[in-house]
Structure 1
Amino acid sequence: MELVFSSHQWLILPPLVLLCLLLSYLYTILWLRPERLRQKLRSQGVKGPKPSFLFGNIAEMRRIQKELAVPVQELEAKNTDKFSSDYTATIFPYFLHWSRIYGSIYLYSTGSIQALNITDPDMVKELANCKSLDLGKPSFLQKERGALLGMGILTSNGELWEHQRKVIAPEFFMEKVKGMLHVMVEAAMPMLTSWEKIFGREGGSAEIVVDESLRNFSADVISRTSFGSNFAAGKEIFNKIRQLQIAMAKQSILGVPGARYLPTKSNREIWSLDRSIRRLILNVAMKHEQDSVALSTDKDLLHSIIEGAKARHFASQTPEGFIIDNCKNIYFAGHETTSTTAAWCLMLLASHPEWQSRARTELLDVCQGKPIEFDMLRKLKMLTMVVQETLRLYPPAAFVTREALNDIKLGSLNIPEGTNIRIPIALVHRDPAIWGPNSDRFDPGRFANGIAGACKPPHMYMPFGVGTRTCAGQNLAMVELKVILSLLLSRFEFALSPKYVHCPAFRLTIEPGNGVPLILKKLY
């Protein structure tokens, strides 16, 4: 029997009764509901570490992180190819530990979030093939990462997500991306010019930390192709989103549940950055709409987002929120992940000169000194293999995440509503059972016959996600990576600086923790 009280009845209840009701409510939310969910999965044979009240397995994760995390130096000592060593043992040692105990499917808890960890190929395939809207993005992303992602295409569900996908995805179809090639080359010119000026001052070689230059290049590409402006116009937005990403990365999955509501110094910084980003995006959108009317400019992604906000209204999101949240998603995912992958590509090519030489030889043979054209990129098989192998070893996103929005069946498991499902991409991409005994080695040759030839089964390669929620911008990312790598390989020879410290870090994306300093030499 459910008790229902009117507002005035609540006021006359004794304080002790109110306290008992509050504690009962919290106990139900924080323990009984999660325990019922866990019991439904346990009854089907799913095992996992025993959670504690309120914090779940957070304390155990911290203990494992402290006791079992393998230092990068130790990994490098064991691995002949130290620059592709398995950093998951350093960043996510608890997942490795639990997978050895409980296998390829197990349940763990971070506070009130119950997560089903999956690396089993058959279950991954079931998830990839599931088109039901009952399987969506976890609600905690909108809460925990709301300042960065909001309810944009990366986090929304149901009809709202379907509408966002219809608005945004066509802007990244290959035919449209093909027309963006000249913009990418133009965006790269300031970086190449600035690097060549350094050679003029320093002679035949120069040391450059490439991360910030690559980030600026990628930001310029997404600004020009999607928002009708150059990097300078969106610089403040990109800078603040980067600050927000770093601030939110400090609030790791091992944080205290509900801590995001407390007025801590970190939270106040996040809230302030969120307000600034919202204001800046609305200003860009307003100016863009005015310019579109006055100048009849070409229709780009921002125009589509603005029109999409007007086309349908949703109870869960205002038209203003539609514009802000989707622009946040594009600003973040559209440039941060690509620039990070480009940095890892350069690091791996610098530390494997034989592959750098092979990629450059093919490039010079295909281009013959002519400006890059789209058909040339299709012929750069060696460079494609290098990018694919980089995305295998250093996928920008650490996890594929889903939530059962209603009870749903995947394979032989009945997944109860509220269960989070997580595929640790970095672990799957280094599994010897899938990739062979040299799974930790940088070997682009494994992709000589495409993804199907490199990976058995091919759906276990997932740098851009899986299923219906696969990244809409993957065509843009792949072309952009090939363009910038082609331009750099045709102009420079590069090696790792002695100052480089191999330290992969999880900051919402997996990135070089201390940057990538390279020694560059001009080829002509």
Structure 2
Amino acid sequence: MIEISEKVMLQLFWTAGLIVISSVVILIEKLWWKPYRIRSVLEKQGIKGPKPSFPFGNVSEMQNLQPQPPPNSDVKEAWVYSIFPYFHIWKQRYGPLYLYSTGTKQHLYVEKGALVKDMAAHMAPDLGRPLYLNQALEPIFGDGVLRANGKTWVYQRNVIIAELFMSKIKKMLYSMEDSAMEIVKKWDKSIEENKGKTVDLVIEHDLKVLSEDILSKACFGSNYGEGKHVFERLGAMQTKLGTTSTLLGFFNLSFLSINGNKEVWRMKKEVDVLITKMINDREIQNKNKNDDEKPNDLLQKIIESSKRDTTLNEKGFFKTKYDMNQLTIDLCKNIYFAGSESTALATTWALWLIASYPEWQQRLRSEILEAFDYKLPHSFCEDGKLQKLKLLTMVIQESFRLYGPAVTNSRETFADMKFGDLLVPKGTYLWMFVPALHRDTDNWGPDAAEFKPERFANGLSKACKYPQAYIPFGFGSRNCLGQNFTMTEIKIALSLLLYHFSFEVSPDYRHCPVSNMLLIPKYGIRLLVTRLNHTKK
């Protein structure tokens, strides 16, 4: 037998001891010191919040609190207080700026326009997307532009931004119009089958197909049919991952189950394969073409950038060809998700609001008829026509304020940061509940919960005290890159639909907005749709 000397045993003992001590120190730092430091810094500045309990913080209270709408509040507004009831209840107790925790994560809830203004002034990279969310949502977003930080985000932003200038979007107008006319024809057919009478339609699926078709044609040179499987799987992953536990940092045990995990990663792999095939097919098509013969769309720009951009590679950022390929796939996934799902929901909620306010519907229709001289479709490319739709722009802006697709907006501080007079320590998660922020009476006035598009008559800067706290497209340097694309698509869709039809809210409609990453109608949007025939006066 080999005898181990006393000296060797002593060395092994000290090594093991150091490992144990180091592990304990790391655990203490992670589980106690870091959360304690963050809370201490914020509490010393007068910020209060619910008392956390070890090891789950305020998770138990968050799961047990029930919605408490304010007295005399509009029944239609009850949903605002039911999505994340603890946000509202804690605001009543601790004010519009408070501290809460989920496990070791320390969150600062922000419902103060002045503070959002200060946050918006800070540039990346010290204020970025929360890293734990990036990990939780990795199957659906990967390291794409919606969740990326630092160099990865800068690279993707530079690829996308030039393709979404208005000069490029104007070339997509005919394509957008063609897609919207397919919905007009479909609804026309439903009315014809009902002998020309008003029909009761659930509209959100058709508007989702519309957005998906526009995105597929404009950005990827395909159509809804070809991108259908990508959209379906992204939607299924959204349902699986869009839980409160995932988004707010709970211990998400249901997702960690073997079956749930396997299903999500299976769908992720399927989407990656579909997008890889689309990229490979495009490269094969381009093989014997000159540069001026190749498609001029966003997919082509992404492919070309992935081939020629070596700046980051030289710095060691992309270590392998696989890294670059995966980033290209992730970027495409992010565009598919953001450019279709969010836009479709925005159009859906806007049309519901228009149906809910007949006087505004008539004003919009009159504006559209006058702007396009009763010549829809085939008039959108006439110079300046869309820009003349001032009332429609105001209604869309107000719809984004009250029923924007974004439910929350979050950031993580990657360094100690100062927002105005407030010092926020490194590692703090900042959360904004968008529907509440957009109904803040301090910023929007006493009528903040009411539908009043006229507040935007003189632009966003005059609509409220802190325009930076209007965040349907995000805020600061991380503002949505596709904002112009989205607004143009919604204007075209609503113009054509209001030109051809009138709308009323169906008596069978049940108002129940819920959160699943985005603000969705739980029971669908049902509208009564009637065909219009215009005669020029």
> Is residue 489 of structure 2 the alignment partner of residue 480 of structure 1?
yes
Verify the 8 A CA contact 1:31 1:54 in the aligned structure 2.
Answer: no
Verify the 8 A CA contact 2:371 2:385 in the aligned structure 1.
Answer: yes
Give the aligned partner of residue 48 of structure 1: 49
Secondary structure in structure 2 of the residue aligned to 1:68: coil
Deviates more, 1:357-366 or 1:398-407: 398-407
Task: Please show how residues 268-417 of structure 1 align to structure 2 within 5 Å.
Answer: 268-295=262-289, 296-310=293-307, 311-312=309-310, 313=313, 314-315=317-318, 318-370=323-375, 371-374=378-381, 375-417=384-426
Give the aligned partner of residue 68 of structure 1: 67
CA distance in 2, matches of 1:259, 1:20: 30
Verify the 8 A CA contact 1:434 1:457 in the aligned structure 2.
Answer: yes
Task: Please show how residues 409-428 of structure 1 align to structure 2 within 5 Å.
Answer: 409-428=418-437
Residues 127-180 of structure 1: CA deviation (Å, up to 9, x unaligned)? 111124211111122111111111111111112211111111111111111211
Verify the 8 A CA contact 1:69 1:91 in the aligned structure 2.
Answer: no
Which of the numbers 105, 124, 137 marks the counterpart of 2:97?
A: 105
Secondary structure in structure 1 of the residue aligned to 2:385: helix
CA distance in 2, matches of 1:136, 1:256: 20
Give the aligned partner of residue 434 of structure 1: 443
Residues 60-106 of structure 1: CA deviation (Å, up to 9, x unaligned)? 11121xx3344xxx99x842xx54x2522111221111122222222
CA distance in 1, matches of 2:243, 2:443: 33
Deviates more, 1:480-489 or 1:321-330: 321-330
CA distance in 1, matches of 2:268, 2:345: 23
Deviates more, 1:22-31 or 1:223-232: 22-31
> Is residue 234 of structure 2 the alignment partner of residue 237 of structure 1?
no
What is the Cα deviation at residue 467 of structure 1?
0.9
Residues 188-243 of structure 1: CA deviation (Å, up to 9, x unaligned)? 12222111111111122111111110001000111111111111111100011111
Verify the 8 A CA contact 1:144 1:260 in the aligned structure 2.
Answer: no
CA distance in 1, matches of 2:203, 2:288: 39
Verify the 8 A CA contact 1:164 1:308 in the aligned structure 2.
Answer: no
Aligned residues: 506
Secondary structure in structure 2 of the residue aligned to 1:109: strand
Verify the 8 A CA contact 1:61 1:254 in the aligned structure 2.
Answer: no
Q: 1:60 to 1:23 in 2, by over 3 A?
A: farther
TM-score (norm: length of structure 1): 0.91
Deviates more, 1:503-512 or 1:199-208: 199-208
CA distance in 1, matches of 2:257, 2:409: 30
Gaps of 5+ in 1: 1-7
Q: 1:372 to 1:122 in 2, by over 3 A?
A: same
Letter of the 1:373 counterpart: F
CA distance in 1, matches of 2:488, 2:50: 43
What is the Cα deviation at residue 454 of structure 1?
1.6
Secondary structure in structure 1 of the residue aligned to 2:303: helix
Give the aligned partner of residue 4 of structure 1: none
Which of the numbers 218, 221, 232 marks the counterpart of 1:228?
A: 221
> Is residue 480 of structure 2 the alignment partner of residue 444 of structure 1?
no
Task: Please show how residues 121-132 of structure 1 align to structure 2 within 5 Å.
Answer: 121-132=113-124
> Is residue 159 of structure 2 the alignment partner of residue 167 of structure 1?
yes
Q: 1:293 to 1:9 in 2, by over 3 A?
A: farther
CA distance in 1, matches of 2:280, 2:12: 48
> Is residue 199 of structure 2 the alignment partner of residue 206 of structure 1?
yes
TM-score (norm: length of structure 2): 0.89
CA distance in 1, matches of 2:366, 2:266: 49
Residues 407-440 of structure 1: CA deviation (Å, up to 9, x unaligned)? 2222222222111112222111001122122211
CA distance in 2, matches of 1:256, 1:387: 34
Verify the 8 A CA contact 2:441 2:447 in the aligned structure 1.
Answer: yes
CA distance in 1, matches of 2:349, 2:57: 35
What is the Cα deviation at residue 347 of structure 1?
0.9
What is the Cα deviation at residue 522 of structure 1?
0.4
Verify the 8 A CA contact 2:110 2:431 in the aligned structure 1.
Answer: yes
Q: 1:125 to 1:148 in 2, by over 3 A?
A: same
Q: 1:89 to 1:368 in 2, by over 3 A?
A: same
Verify the 8 A CA contact 1:237 1:277 in the aligned structure 2.
Answer: yes
